[in-house]
Amino acid sequence: MNMKICLMPGDGIGPEIMAQAVRVLETVAAKFGHAVQTETALIGGAAIDAMGIPLPEATVAACRASDAVLLGAVGGPKWDAMDPAIRPEKGLLGIRKALGLFANLRPAALFPELARASYLRPDIVSQGLDIMVVRELTGGAYFGEPRGETLVNGERAAFNTMIYSESEIERIVRVACEIAMKRGKRLCSVDKANVLDVSRLWREVAVRTAAEYPEVELSHMYVDNAAMQLIRDPSQFDVIVTENLFGDILSDEASIITGSIGMLPSASMGAGGPALFEPIHGSAPDIAGKDIANPLATILSVSMMLRFSFGLEAEAGAIDSAVKAVLARGYRTGDIHVGEGVKVGCSEMGQLVVDAL
């Protein structure tokens, strides 16, 4: 296979973790006989420094011309005082919009070797934690119109609109069903149908859409209960699908209980065009340039890319297994080094994964 990948290292630790992810990508491609063609594009603070804007047209064009996009992270104190309209984070929102990425996939899985890093009690963690949160990314209260500020009885009031059309619900539930089919075939749709009209439509369309996947066992949960159940017994979940605002909160909750922000990848997918893969963490300016960042979230983002954009299951599995093997041998970057194991830096961790491959 010939893979055309657009790389956007971004800011802070972005270039360091990207370099290791690219080594792993090239290693796995060579091992399985694939050709990789990469192009590097500017985004975030790096783009502001070079061109004055966080998302140059050339970057959008390079992403559109690729099969998949791999991003490091954007942002940092250097650009914090800037006009919010041209801050680094605008680049990220802009590229998601330009590529029409409506489905955000956030796996929250705990490597048994890192169980000690989890914030949950050992008896809860030992039940297992392997969840895929599928969050709707372009609708709901974050984008709904009308929005704004008004005067009500002489005082200021502000409002947003949580709105979803049937087609928006249908396409995200379909993505979640497809993913459930490749995993444990259990899908939990999270809503607030006891209170919100938009949730009642969500539930109705979810039932209708999931019926097209008779093998997928669909359940429903109110969002307040889902927030509790994620802490009480995360092992009950396989795939969760939910709207933008609920998904923003639940996907962060699901990932942070693993205790390892440097381990978690994510994918944002649209309808047919290139998808975007990135670690969930930010640019970690506090440790940038020191070669101590954990590159595994970005390396695991490469695995997601091979699996979801190219259907290369064996290749993705090889990366996952290599990461597991390195952890099993006791190697840890600082963020996941909890009292035991051998502490290694960013490039050393990348080399270990390459060697394991």
Half-sphere exposure of 97 (CA within 13 A, CB side): 10
How far apart are the C-alpha atoms of 166 and 154, rounded to whole Å? 37
Q: Does 75 bind ligand NAD (CB under 6 A)?
A: yes
Judged by beta carbon, residue 18 or residue 240, the one nearer ligand NAD is 18
Q: Does 54 bind ligand NAD (CB under 6 A)?
A: no
Which residues inside 300-339 make contact with ligand NAD, applying CB under 6 A? 333, 335
The residue within the footprint of ligand NAD, chosen from 26, 67, 89, 217 (CB under 6 A), is: 89
Candidate segments 59-67, 151-159, 283-291, 308-316, binder of ligand NAD by CB under 6 A: 283-291
Q: Does 73 bind ligand NAD (CB under 6 A)?
A: yes
Judged by beta carbon, residue 229 or residue 351, the one nearer ligand NAD is 351
Judged by beta carbon, residue 254 or residue 284, the one nearer ligand NAD is 284
Amino acid type, 232: R
How far apart are the C-alpha atoms of 227 and 224, rounded to whole Å? 5
Q: Residue 57, Cα to own-chain centre: how many angstroms?
A: 24
Q: Does 283 bind ligand NAD (CB under 6 A)?
A: yes
123 is catalytic: no
Residue 5 backbone dihedrals phi, psi, to 5 degrees = -115, 130
Q: Classify 340 as helix, strand or coil.
A: coil
Q: Could you tell me the CA-to-CA distances from 306 to 28, 39, 299 in Å, in that order?
A: 10, 17, 11
Which residues inside 259-278 make contact with ligand NAD, applying CB under 6 A? 261-262, 278
Q: Classify 69 as helix, strand or coil.
A: strand
Write down the residue that tokens 């090239």 correspond to.
26
Write down the residue that tokens 């709707």 correspond to.
136
Which residues here bind ligand NAD, judged by CB under 6 A? 13, 17, 73-76, 89, 92, 261-262, 278, 281-287, 293-294, 297, 333, 335
Active site residues: 142, 192, 224, 248, 252
